[in-house]
Structure 1
Amino acid sequence: MLIEIKGKADSIKRCMRRPLSSCMRSITLSLTLLDLAGSVALLLWGTHMVQSGIQRVFGAGLRALLGRALHGRWSAFLAGLSITAILQSSTATGLMAAGFAAAGLVDLVPALAVMLGANVGTTLIVQVLSFDVSAASPALILAGVLMFRRAANTRTHDVGRTLIGLGLMLLALHQLLRLMTDQEDASVLSTLVHAASSVPLLNVLVAAGLTWATHSSVAVILFIMSLCAQNVVPPDAAFALVLGANLGTAINPVLEGTLSTDPAAKRVAIGNLLSRATGVVIAMATLGPIGRMMVIVEPDYARVVADFHTLFNLVLAGLFMPFLSPYAALLARLLPQQQSHADPGRPLYLDPLARQFPVVALGNATREALRLADVLGDMLSGARAVLADGERRLIGETRRRDDILDSLNAAIKTYLMSLDPEQLTGHDRQRLNEILTFVVNIEQAGDVVDLNLLPHATKRLKRRLCFSKEGEAELLEMLDHLTANLRTAASLLMTQDTRIARILADEKVTFRTAESAAKAAHFDRLRSGRPDSAQTSALHLDLLCDMKLINSHIVAAAAYPILERDGALLVSRIAANDSHPSLDENLSASGLPPRGSFPSR
């Protein structure tokens, strides 16, 4: 009886333990997943801070360097490698190269070579972090915080951001290793990844999806390295995950690429994806012997993951570099240049993916802004044809171009306003304001053509009025002058040259003088009793005023921001004279508050 009672008691105890044990396992699993997610999030945020900080410090200079290096495949390869090693983002380098190629500034072969170099460049930071350097994390974070908070210099401020990000990456890696060193947590993680680790293709797909979602192959590779270092996943599974991460980082530029409907604009992104996919297929076929050989050569599992990542990209570059010319020709046949655009008001260069890289996004916005200058140039040419030849059919076509200006202006402003202000340096903010000033003034100049100049020209045609030969020559000469100033403004937007800005600003004085001379000549013809001048007097003067206003917008679009930046722009054209009371004195005498007392709008 006692034995039976004791057996029933033991049975009851076991039944009571099972729910408690199951509950504890659930709690342990939840806490482990929470710790894992937090460590991975810290790693991603640290990577983001490093990338954004370096882009702020070196972004504009590196873009210019890349533009100069794109004249040969090997120089482009080295430029892509070095720039990506600094920026820690092959996506940013690829967007720059794709932008140059889409604009026709470089051939497709150097652009593809840049991508091969960028793929190798991303492996360098992984190589450095594969060593145990976590002890430097507190020092890096401390130095970064001091530079970030104390420094008045913007460049030093951004270097501090970079150091903080690097310290957070090291701290996150240390946390991951600690998490997986704990036997209980490691067993839980091993159970979670055991099913996937036995299927290499599933590993590739999972890692590719994770890299696409996080937009950071570096962070994913470091996470894989931590898993393998603690035997959570075997080396073969880690190698398959590395292949997936390399594939996933090439997906983003294709899926979220340029807004252009022209297939040729996606040649670089698709070419990079196809080369990566080809490399993954070849590596998967030889994964077994390569993996065993690498484990023998490098027994350290953290180092062997980094070495495999580097070896894959080096071999891929070695395979494709000799065949880039036929490969580029194949891409050109598969993705031909689109000959026409259905909607001329649709932006072509405002790539949404580039918004995470301000230096690239601002370059894209600049290229789109130049389209506004081209459209305004077409409007001025149409207006000239209407005045010179009476081309009535051009009036409607020219006025429709103002709708294109409105659409592009709205798209550019929306694009620029979507940039993260925290990622913009002082130089970036200044450049953003310059682009906005340009597009707003060019759009307003188009409004003057549409609402003022063309209606006046239409009125002349309807009333069958004819300008005098001298007056018509003056008007056409001033229109030609406007077109030349517009070309100068477009060039100035790209070069940012103070000398060109002064030349364009002086054109306002020249234009004002020419307008005054034209008015004086017109009044002289009126005094002489010329009937043609008398009939068109009001129209002639209105057209002169319209052209003067258009020229003012063109000068303000490009010259004034540069001169104001350099402190070469005067506040007022009115000369100072001590014998006359100042404006503040006149306001005070009138009972009005001084200028500084008016509330700003």
Structure 2
Amino acid sequence: MSWVNLINLLGGLALFLYGMVLARDGLQQGAGSKLRNILGSLTRNRFLGVGLGALVTFLLQSSSATTVILVGLTSAAVIPFARTVAVILGADIGTTLTVQLISFKVSHYSLLFVFVGFLVSQVSKRTITRYFAEALMGFGFIFFGMQVMADATGPMRDMPWFNTFLASLANNPLVGILVSTIFTAIIQSSAATIGIALSFATSGVLDLEPAIAIILGANIGTCATAILATLGGATVEGRRVAAAHIGIKIAGVILLAPFIHPFADMTRVISSGDVARQIANAHTLFNILLAIVFVPFTGIVSRVVEKLVVDKPSPEQFRPRFLDPTALDSPPLALANASREVQRMANIVEQMIIQAFEPFEKDDLDLVEKTTAMDQKVDLLDKQTKLYLTHLSKRQMTPVQAREEYELVDFSSELEGIADIVCKNLMYHAQKRIRKGYRFSPEGLQELRDMHSRTVEHFRLAIAVFTSKDPALATRCIEEKRELRKLALNLRHSHIERLHKGVSGAIETTSLHMDVLYSFSTINSAITNMSYRILEWRDAK
């Protein structure tokens, strides 16, 4: 092979991989935001789950992206893990549809796809149309890159060492499986690996038998993304999804590897004489056979995986639960993950507010320390969520997605601020009261208790506003803040009246009483900020 052919091979590979990324991103941006809801509501039937898994994976151009959705749905208890097995099998079929598409002989029209896709993406005013145009442009680069690689590898037919290597793959498929597994794990796309094999077949240097070994390895290697993600502290549901995926793939490869030659003969019977088409059909047939074998036993598979991958409590350091880095290539999925983490943060802050009044009623410093420790968790989640969204900002997002990202950052900051008020203000005053032995008057204590209860309910209303984005709820939240402001003012007047009457306990706790009221008022102001944002965005439309 000359240097010119080598440069053409590498350049064609770059165009091919770039086209895969462009097509995947365009389809994900165009259709990805609704796919999570589809999977969440329509996977009750295992056969329907297979079909949906295939469709969603074809649209996302990534079985890893489908796996990320499944991890999120199981983590949020939207669907049980047992249902995901059928969707995984369907996702494996969905990845083969891309290979079927790129095996068509349309390289002569590849640059037309690029031109039309580019033209539509520039002139169209509809965002979703531009995304699908970019996907079309991506497929154009895929077809063009494959043709460039095929032309560059043509001379390899006359190289004795290369023919010897291909013969060894046919006679010893384990070598081909291993090489293909490693390569696919590196580039994180089984369709890309098999697409390269199609280019070799088009140039006449690759036959079906060694190509099947490459197919088997690519099917194992594509699981690497999910496996690596679980090493970063995924939930037990995430580990189970990854384990089921890799387990099914390895079982299928073990069953088929000894019968590569009969499998190749069967593929030739149902295919044309074109080797590229035979390779695409072999890839599809393998995954269909996997589904046929395992779909009747999805319940058994899920129970085995649940027994092997258990959720053992451990004293590990507290950390984010939903910020899966493999989802960053898909803004809808990444935003859903970040939203779940912010909801988790909100649950912790809510618990902090609920517990905040106990140290004012009980002389127990452990209650103060317990609440203060929760503030450290909120700080960690706030920092990690914003860092996660910072990485997402480098991806192309729709205006709606960019606004959702801003909402998440904004609400996370508000939550962190509220947690700081509870920790640095309320817990400071509670600690001071306990150490100095101060006692509120019965009337003063009841008034503070009422203010605390109203603040808890106000916070829960703010969470509902964040979740629903409902302007009516936002207006109600703002009105509640005004009522709480009036309540705080009335409670200050009541305390001053007790001072005038010389009520026992009112004098020595005056400063403390006013500081606690002020802290609750500050919390209620922070609670309302998100509601103002919702109304501002509504008015800006």
TM-score by length of 2: 0.94
Q: Does 1:379 align with 2:352?
A: yes
Matches within 5 A, 1:462-477: 462-477=435-450
For 2:180 and 2:284, locate their aligned partners in 1 and report how far apart those are by CA, in whole Å.
17
Within the candidate set 280, 285, 291, 1:311 is matched to 285
1:341, CA displacement in angstroms?
4.9
Query: 2:169 corresponds to which residue?
Result: 197
- Contact kept in structure 1, 2:29 and 2:330, CA below 8 Å: no
Q: Highest Rg: 1 or 2?
A: 1
Query: 1:63 corresponds to which residue?
Result: 36
The root-mean-square deviation of aligned C-alpha atoms, in Å, is 2.2
Q: Does 1:273 align with 2:246?
A: yes
Query: 2:89 corresponds to which residue?
Result: 116
What are the Cα deviations for residues 346-400 of structure 1, in whole angstroms up to 9, with x where unaligned? Answer: 1122112222222222221111112221221222233221122333321112112
Structure 1 pair 259–505 and aligned structure 2 pair: CA distance change class (3 A): farther
Q: Does 1:364 align with 2:348?
A: no
Within the candidate set 283, 292, 305, 2:256 is matched to 283
Within the candidate set 280, 294, 297, 2:267 is matched to 294
What are the Cα deviations for residues 316-364 of structure 1, in whole angstroms up to 9, with x where unaligned? Answer: 01111111111111111111113355323x1122112222222222221
What are the Cα deviations for residues 530-586 of structure 1, in whole angstroms up to 9, with x where unaligned? Answer: 243233222111111101111222222x423322321279xxxxxxxxxxxxxxxxx
Matches within 5 A, 1:308-347: 308-344=282-318, 346-347=319-320
User: What runs of 5+ residues in structure 1 fail to find an aligned partner?
Assistant: 1-27, 570-601
For 2:47 and 2:125, locate their aligned partners in 1 and report how far apart those are by CA, in whole Å.
40
Query: 2:219 corresponds to which residue?
Result: 246
- Contact kept in structure 2, 1:179 and 1:186, CA below 8 Å: no
For 1:368 and 1:115, locate their aligned partners in 2 and report how far apart those are by CA, in whole Å.
25
- Contact kept in structure 1, 2:120 and 2:130, CA below 8 Å: yes
What are the Cα deviations for residues 150-185 of structure 1, in whole angstroms up to 9, with x where unaligned? Answer: 3343323322221211111121122233334x4x35
1:282, CA displacement in angstroms?
0.9
Within the candidate set 384, 400, 405, 1:432 is matched to 405
Within the candidate set 512, 526, 535, 1:553 is matched to 526
Structure 1 moving runs of 4+ over 6 Å: none
| Relative contact order higher in (CA < 8 Å, ≥ 6 apart) | 2
* 3-state SS in 1 of match to 2:95: helix
For 1:187 and 1:511, locate their aligned partners in 2 and report how far apart those are by CA, in whole Å.
85
- Contact kept in structure 2, 1:373 and 1:442, CA below 8 Å: yes
Within the candidate set 395, 408, 423, 2:381 is matched to 408
Structure 1 pair 81–341 and aligned structure 2 pair: CA distance change class (3 A): farther
Q: Does 1:423 align with 2:396?
A: yes
1:237, CA displacement in angstroms?
0.4
For 1:246 and 1:36, locate their aligned partners in 2 and report how far apart those are by CA, in whole Å.
24
Within the candidate set 203, 222, 231, 2:204 is matched to 231
Within the candidate set 13, 24, 27, 1:51 is matched to 24
Structure 1 pair 75–486 and aligned structure 2 pair: CA distance change class (3 A): farther
- Contact kept in structure 2, 1:77 and 1:110, CA below 8 Å: no
For 2:312 and 2:463, locate their aligned partners in 1 and report how far apart those are by CA, in whole Å.
25
For 1:563 and 1:167, locate their aligned partners in 2 and report how far apart those are by CA, in whole Å.
44
For 2:467 and 2:48, locate their aligned partners in 1 and report how far apart those are by CA, in whole Å.
24
Aligned identity (percent) is 30
* 3-state SS in 2 of match to 1:255: helix
Bigger drift between 250-259 and 490-499 goes to 490-499
TM-score by length of 1: 0.85
User: What runs of 5+ residues in structure 2 fail to find an aligned partner?
Assistant: none
What are the Cα deviations for residues 241-285 of structure 1, in whole angstroms up to 9, with x where unaligned? Answer: 111111111122112336326544300011100001101111112
For 1:493 and 1:113, locate their aligned partners in 2 and report how far apart those are by CA, in whole Å.
34
Query: 2:53 corresponds to which residue?
Result: 80
Structure 1 pair 78–504 and aligned structure 2 pair: CA distance change class (3 A): farther
- Contact kept in structure 2, 1:208 and 1:245, CA below 8 Å: yes
